[in-house]
Amino acid sequence: MAIKHQLSLNIVDGCNPTNFTIIDTSSYANAPIHCPTLAITIPGFSAIYFSQGTSPDPNQNANDEYYPLITNPSPYTGTPKFVITVDNIFLHVQSAGETLSSLPDGLWKIKYCVAPCDTLGVEYYYLRTTSALNQYASLLCKLRLSDCLPSEQTSDMINQLHVIKMYLDSAKAKVEVCHAPNEGQALYDYAIKLMANWEKACCSNC
C-alpha cells in the first residue's frame, strides 16, 4: 500500500481584526510533494476568492476549484509546514505599505491540497468572530462596576452579556466542531442583534 500524505491545517484566531494565521500541521509521507495549493473563500463570496500555489499540476483542469489563481507569489513559497499570516495584503486586496483594513467576520472556507488535488485535499469552515468579540469587550467596558455586588438592574445587564457570549461561542462550535455552517452563521447573526439591543438599552441604563 502506498504511503500518503495526511493533510491538516490549524487556523489560529486572535484579537487583531486585520489578520489570522494558518499553520500547516500536515504529516507528509517520505514522498515528493507537488503543487501545494491554498484556496480561500471569504465571507460574502460563493466561489473561491483567492488561491495560490507554486505551479499548477500539468494534468490538472484549469477549471478545477483548486487550480491556483496566482502562481508562485512572493508571500507564499508552497513549502510544506508553512505558517501564513492572512491579511488583505496576502489576499491581494491591498498593496504592501498600505494601512491594513479589517478582515470581515463570518464564514470563511479554507482548502489546501497537494497533487493529485482530487484525492489529497482538506477543507475547513472557519467562523471568524474577531470583530464581534472586540465589540463584546467594548460592551463590558460600558458596565459601571465597583468592588461591591451590582444592582438588580446591572445584574440583569450582566446576564444578558453572558447570553450574548454563549451565542458567539455556540456559533463558532456549530461551524468548526459540529460542521453546521448555516446554523452557526444564524447564531452569530443573532448574537450581533443582541449586542445592538444591549447597547441601545445601555445608553439609558448603564
pLDDT at 203 exceeding the cut of 80 = no
Q: What is the pTM of this model?
A: 0.81
pLDDT at residue number 75:
38
Q: What are the C-alpha distances in Å from 63 to residues 68, 70, 113, 124, 188?
A: 10, 14, 15, 21, 33
Q: Which three cell numbers stand for residue 74?
A: 512572493
The string of DSSP codes covering 60-92 is S-TTSTTS-SEES-TT----SS-EEEE-TTTTT
CA separation for the pair 189, 167 (Å, rounded): 9
Q: What is the pLDDT of residues 12-43, one digit of tens each?
A: 998 999 999 999 999 888 777 777 888 888 89
The string of DSSP codes covering 11-23 is EE--S-TT-EEEE
CA separation for the pair 103, 140 (Å, rounded): 23
Q: Which three cell numbers stand for residue 67?
A: 487550480
Longest dimension (CA), the chain: 69
CATH numbers and ranges of domains, the chain: 1-128 (2.60.40), 130-205 (no CATH)
CB 40 within 8 A of CB 95: no
pLDDT at residue number 135:
96
